[in-house]
Amino acid sequence: MYKFFYDKYDKEERLPVPNLSPSTCVSHSQLYQVFCRTQNDYVISNNVSESEQKFLYPIEIKGRIEDILYDKALDNISRNCIELAKNNQIRFIINYSHEPMKSYSVHVDGVEESHAYIFFNSLKKYIVDLGLHQNMFIIYPGTFNLLELEPKLKTTGFRFNYTDTLMLNTASKLKELYKKPFFALGYETTLIRGSEIDEKRNRYFICLNRNSQKRFRFTLGCYFEFKNWWDDIYCSFLLNDSPEKSNIFTTNNVDFDKNIISVRNNFVSKMPIEFDTQKIDDKGSFESGRAYKKENGWLDSYIYVCTETEFEDNNIFLSEKSFHGVITLQPFILFAPCGHLGYMKKLGFKTFDEFIDEKYDDIEDDKERFIFLCDELNRIHNLSLDTIHEWYLSIKDKLIFNRNHLLSMANRLPFTVELPEELKSW
């Protein structure tokens, strides 16, 4: 296997310093954990002598991928690394798999163009100015369908790949939860067992939102306020720097938008709405992948309403949020981009179209999909809890299958299949 190449070494931490630091990059994350667990798995620039050895140079982005340009981050690449790259001995790996790559259009000099296309062309120029070539760079965006959304990116010369990083991380956390409880939010989380889920429940939905400033999440909260469902759902609407200024996700449905606007101030007055974070001070970066409040929560509600990281522009980004219902043995409805549910099906997960109208996943127009989802929640809410309980018991095997399917991925590490395949042509 190729060794990873780092420019600097931290003697106190006894670890290599993340490449491009201190400008753009995070402390060691996926690539380091997967490939560089012992010192033999990597080399430091000063210790590399002339040889035919080939190396991989990991770049793991913190924040926006655009900061590579704004911070002139690639200027921190060592001269030794650049010379080795020119000699075809290094491939650069930009790992942005933990965040979506935004897909939207902008106007430049009166011409409409893709933001992603503009960024990668600018990055290409930057790389060429350093004496490198864009085909030396393998890029892992978090957006599964990026090249479908932006086919022109194929002309930039970069090599794009994809790995389901957050799904595999979530599977690993599920495995840990099988072994021991989790206490980080001030209460004990133990795995919900199949034997615990037969009792009738008191609420229809559970819907958790950390960053409620996103306009589709904020608008969903306003919808809950308009319907006055607070006694029928468990939910959280946490971070919002200025809720009184939050934008509403307006649709083409005049009556719907009018109803949302009419309750906006009432919803704002209730924020923040907390479900299970009352005992922690940091409401912005807590670990949610293993925290599942059973009582007055997951075991007392029937359907998980997932508000994914992305909703607009058909940007499919599979985060840990999509799997909270899988882990807690709940069916789910996704406020997510068109095709998101279909991608989960391709990964082998079972869905619930015998009861939930999943045609929402085929609706490309974001506004229409949002209205459809809200109407579907309303339809389900008009059913009796007895009816929902009867259906819930009928899908118990499907719920257990989904969790076991996720657990089966726990030992599969991201990049370990995709990266070696990508490097075969080197």
Phi-psi region of 124 (alpha: psi -120 to 50; beta: other; left: phi over 0): alpha
> What pLDDT is recorded for position 201?
98
The residue type at 208: L
Which residues have a Cβ under 8 Å from the Cβ of 220 and sit 6 or more positions away?
207, 209, 305, 307, 335, 374
Q: Assess contact for 176 and 290: CB atoms under 8 A.
A: yes
Spatial separation of the C-alpha atoms in residues 394 and 414, rounded to whole Å: 34
Spatial separation of the C-alpha atoms in residues 271 and 242, rounded to whole Å: 10
Banded model confidence at residue 241, pLDDT cuts 50, 70, 90: confident
> What pLDDT is recorded for position 182?
93
pLDDT tens digits for 83-117? 999 999 999 999 999 999 877 777 677 778 888 99
Length of the chain counted residue by residue: 426
Banded model confidence at residue 415, pLDDT cuts 50, 70, 90: very high
> What pLDDT is recorded for position 29?
66
Mean pLDDT of 286-292: 86
The two structure tokens encoding residue 426: 């080197």
Q: Tell which residue, 157, 162, 167, 159, has the closest CA to residue 145.
A: 162
> What pLDDT is recorded for position 271?
93
Spatial separation of the C-alpha atoms in residues 351 and 424, rounded to whole Å: 36
Spatial separation of the C-alpha atoms in residues 117 and 150, rounded to whole Å: 7
Q: Assess contact for 55 and 3: CB atoms under 8 A.
A: yes
> What pLDDT is recorded for position 273?
96
Q: Give bridge partners of residue 56 from the DSSP assignment.
A: 4, 91
Residue matched to tokens 């290599």: 16
Q: Assess contact for 111 and 155: CB atoms under 8 A.
A: no
Mean pLDDT of 143-170: 95
> What is the model's pTM?
0.93
Average pLDDT, rounded, for the chain: 92
Which residues have a Cβ under 8 Å from the Cβ of 258 and sit 6 or more positions away?
none
The two structure tokens encoding residue 338: 């068109």
More confident residue, 27 or 342: 342
Q: Is 46 exposed, middle or buried (0-12, 13-18, 19+ CB in 10 A)?
A: exposed
Q: What does the DSSP 8-state code read for residue 27? A: S
